[in-house]
């Protein structure tokens, strides 16, 4: 009556088959997971810039003064030699010249350079975005494209119209 006795645990064959099936599932899922991570990174960076545009516009309206966003890697001065992925500086531009002057302009917010392989380009090649006190755009309209070196399928954009409204694409 030994054949009615139940065994406890797994045999070596069962364990090897389970590990092999698990390995196949991981091998199939890994590329999709990597694509999801890249897509989320590009979307996050695009959304951060979109939110900065909306914040700059609202600050211009709220404070009744021009507000400028420029490229900046150090958070204290504008640097036109950078790409748009090199970091951003948002400041109250009291004289509306697009330059951060120590005399009257005030830094509102700075954003560190983007991490990873996300590249940001602007369709008009402008180096700054400036909103006037009513929220209309003085400079910087166009499409900001966020792309990744892994391929065009990850490209996302922000379209900034002359009315100052930004839309995600």
Q: Is residue 7 over pLDDT 70?
A: no
Nearest of 145, 127, 144, 138 to residue 164 by alpha carbon: 138
Tell me the CA distances in angstroms from 4 to 1, 7, 9, 13, one per residue in order: 6, 9, 16, 21
Looking at domain 15-168, which of 3.20.20.330, 3.55.40.10, 3.40.50.720, 3.40.50.300 is its CATH number?
A: 3.55.40.10
CB 66, CB 128: distance < 8 Å: no
pTM, to two decimals: 0.82
Residue that wins the pLDDT comparison between 58 and 6 = 58
Could you tell me the residue ranges of all domains in the chain?
Answer: 15-168
pLDDT, tens digit, 9 for 90 and up, residues 71-129: 999 988 899 999 999 999 999 998 888 888 888 899 999 999 988 789 999 998 889 99
């Amino acid at each position: 009556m030994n054949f009615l006795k139940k065994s406890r645990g797994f045999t070596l064959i069962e364990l090897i088959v389970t590990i092999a099936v698990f390995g196949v599932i991981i091998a199939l899922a890994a590329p999709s997971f990597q694509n999801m991570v890249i897509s989320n990174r590009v979307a996050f960076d695009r959304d951060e810039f979109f939110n900065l545009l909306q914040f700059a516009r609202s600050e211009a309206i709220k404070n009744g003064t021009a507000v400028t966003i420029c490229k900046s890697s150090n958070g204290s001065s504008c640097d036109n030699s950078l790409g748009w992925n090199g970091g951003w500086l948002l400041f109250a531009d009291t004289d509306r010249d697009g330059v951060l002057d120590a005399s009257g302009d005030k830094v509102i917010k700075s954003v560190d350079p983007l991490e990873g392989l996300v590249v940001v380009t602007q369709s008009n090649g402008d180096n700054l975005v400036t909103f006037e006190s009513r929220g209309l755009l003085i400079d910087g309209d166009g499409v900001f494209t966020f792309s990744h070196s892994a391929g065009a399928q990850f490209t996302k954009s922000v379209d900034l119209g002359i009315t100052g409204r930004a839309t995600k694409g």
